[in-house]
Amino acid sequence: MSLLEQMAALGAPRVLALAEPEVGLRALIVLDDVTLGPAAGGVRTRDYPDEVSALADAAALARAMTVKCALAGLAAGGGKAVLWPPPPALRSAAFERLGARIEELGGLFRTAGDLGTGPADLAALARGTRFVHTEERALAGAVARGLVGCVRACVRVRGAASDGDLSGLHVAVQGVGAIGAAVARALAAQGARLTLADIDTARVAALADELGARVVAPDALLGLDCDVLAPCAVGGVIGPAQAVALRAFALCGAANNLLAGADIAALLAERGVLVVPDQLASAGAVIEGIADTVMGLDAAQRLALIDRLGATAEEVLRAARASGRSSHQVALERAHAILRAAAQGKSQAARRA
């Protein structure tokens, strides 16, 4: 299958492939949709086995960002960059060159960090482009604030507490990197009881000591008897077996594409599990990261958009329950309606011009 055939099959209309061995750069940038505005998405660094799997991952993540931006009320579309890990001696140069290539796009792609891309990498990117958000702590805090609002929505929809009170709620958090740790701290501040898991045993132990949380092995967390499961590490962790074994009444995590397939959403809906689409649960980062530069919003306006995520999640969950559809289906239909309206508006404006 040719590259163009792969792009068509994956629904990836715009792909920039970068191969610059002199600086160790091997990367793909996928721009999924720019109907609402510039494409936004992070840079993921991962040792993909081949170009096909890298393109598939980037295309799925970029598409999720399109939906995320639409649901969050942003004048932005979806994109994603994926990068094979450069040789250590060339890592800084590779990220700086990637930044230069992003700069050449003239602002059509706005980026930030993602799995495998650290602060030093973002600093190198920033030497090559203006269009990168390097403050990870602010992004993690924004995700945590939005996710807490979405957890409140789950509690209200279930009827456990009409005001969304989280006191005593048992939440299991998978992955306590920058985002997962911020989520755990925000939930603890609201009185939630926490169980944590991470492959970095020292990191998870330190956070558990700080928050008074319990620690379990990563492979034991997904089937834990808890109220809410919050995967905040890699995506695709909820497959058929995990969906059947899930004992939480709600799934609300910051991981991108946390369901292994579209059929999993329907399976969880049949079981009565409330699922907040990750395009809503983790949207705080893209709001904080690009709303100021793309939309010119100040801090108070960005917080208002982040705080709106919980209300949107509640609307989606209630619509899904009333119609018998999955929350992912409802959210996608909502996002697509926003995109269609924007495209029609552009078409009408072009005809008038």
Which active-site residues does the annotation give?
A: 80
Chain center to CA of 331: 14
Q: Give the Å distances, CA to CA, from 155 to 20, 136, 172, 318.
A: 50, 29, 15, 12
d(CA 40, CA 32) in angstroms, rounded, equals 9
User: Can you say whether the dihedral through the CA atoms of 61, 290, 144, 118 is positive or negative?
Assistant: positive
Residue 189 neighbours by CB under 8 Å, 6+ apart: none
φ, ψ at 265 (rounded to 5°): -60, -40
Running DSSP on this structure, what letter comes out for residue 160?
Answer: S
**Residue 17, beta-bridge partner list:** 28
Q: Cα separation of 254 and 280, whole Å?
A: 9
Instruction: Take residue 264 and report the two structure tokens written for it.
Output: 């999993």
Length of the chain: 353
Residue holding tokens 């269609």? 340
Largest CA distance in the chain: 63
Contact 232, 179 (CB under 8 A): yes
- Measure Cα distances from 230 to 156, 161, 170, 213, 311 in Å: 17, 19, 11, 14, 18
The per-residue b/e assignment along 93-106, b for 16 or more CB within 10 angstroms, e otherwise, is: bbbbbbbbbbbebe
Q: DSSP characters for 198-250?
A: -S-HHHHHHHHHHHT-EE--HHHHTT---SEEEE-SSS--B-HHHHHH---SE
